[in-house]
Structure 1
Amino acid sequence: MADHQEASVTLPSEPASVAAARRHVAQVLADWGLPDGADTADSVRLIVSELATNAVQHTFGQSPVFTVDIRLEREEWLRIGVTDSHPRWPRRLPAAVQQDNGRGMVIIRWLTAEAGGRLSVSPTEDGGKTVWIALPWPVGAHTPAGRGSC
């Protein structure tokens, strides 16, 4: 079994891509041995939905695509990053704006922390950013040899 597995998908920055990103990640996790109904799988799908939604809604047309990277390191850490080319990093919106939206990063931070993970943001060479989450890989989830690498 490989010490490192990875997969990625690049999608257009449009609303339909949020569901496509979520489906892609769910399929990769299933291929890597994480049962669909596992708490971690549910949390990851919600986190990916929120990150992809942010990449679509908050780049204001300045990022025509976004990329979702999925990495499993030594069956210990699952890392998921969503990259776009917009230079502004995620931030909390003012309370008045949060009535209808603006809670995505709060949800992502909460789910990540609840699972014992970490959230980080890193710059890209083209001036954009990648929002990363790192979660412990659940004990008992097994990666089938030779599957899931892209």
Structure 2
Amino acid sequence: MADHQEASVTLPSDPASVAAARRYVAEVLGEWGLAEGTDAADSVRLIVSELATNAVQHTFGQSPTFTVDLRLEREETLRIGVTDSHPRWPRRLPAAVQQDNGRGMVIIRWLTAEAGGRLSVSPTADGGKTVWIALPWTAVAGAGAIPSTSRG
């Protein structure tokens, strides 16, 4: 495997694009060695789903597209970035609002922390932002190292 692998897709800011982003990430990570159907694969797809949903729902039509970037660095770190052109950075919503929605960043932060990863946000040149998740590849590629949030 190469020292550094990258993949990227840009999708319209439409609710249907969230599923497309999940499928794209699953395909790429499968090519990179992450078996589909594992708890780790499910967790990464959930992270991407929540980030993509945020890019669609919370940009209020000001970001016509969003981009999902994947980077695998030296089989040590998986970086997942979701970029949109809206200037507002993610924030926790008040508890009253979280009754119906607004738990996405809580889920993302929990899954990231459980895997020993970290979350960061960086500005883009056009005034938007990229939300980055960095996960140890051993936690992602190792069977079941990232706990699944679904209980069967």
Task: Give the number of equivalent residue pairs.
Answer: 142
Q: Does residue 73 of the first structure (1) align with residue 73 of the second (2)?
A: yes
- 1:57-91: CA deviation from partner (whole Å, max 9, x where unpaired): 00000000000000000000000000000000000
Contact 2:6 2:71 in 1 (8 A): yes
Question: Where does residue 52 of structure 1 map in the other structure?
Answer: 52
My pick for the range that moved more, 16-25 or 31-40, is: 31-40
Q: Normalising by structure 1, report the TM-score.
A: 0.91
Question: Where does residue 113 of structure 1 map in the other structure?
Answer: 113
Question: Where does residue 93 of structure 1 map in the other structure?
Answer: 93
2-structure distance, mates of 1:140, 1:126: 32
Question: Where does residue 146 of structure 1 map in the other structure?
Answer: none
State the one-letter code of the partner of 2:90.
P
Q: How much identity, in percent, do the aligned residues show?
A: 89
Distance change >3 Å, CA 87–CA 139, structure 1 → 2: closer
1-structure distance, mates of 2:113, 2:139: 18
Q: Does residue 29 of the first structure (1) align with residue 29 of the second (2)?
A: yes
Distance change >3 Å, CA 100–CA 139, structure 1 → 2: closer
Contact 1:13 1:63 in 2 (8 A): yes
2-structure distance, mates of 1:21, 1:37: 17
Q: Which runs of 5+ in 2 are unaligned?
A: 142-152
Q: 1:138 Cα deviation (Å)?
A: 2.4
Secondary structure of the structure 2 residue equivalent to 1:138: helix
- 1:20-55: CA deviation from partner (whole Å, max 9, x where unpaired): 000000000000011112322111000000000000
Secondary structure of the structure 2 residue equivalent to 1:43: helix
Question: Where does residue 6 of structure 2 map in the other structure?
Answer: 6
- 1:70-123: CA deviation from partner (whole Å, max 9, x where unpaired): 000000000000000000000011111111001000000000001111000000
Contact 1:40 1:115 in 2 (8 A): no
Distance change >3 Å, CA 86–CA 117, structure 1 → 2: same
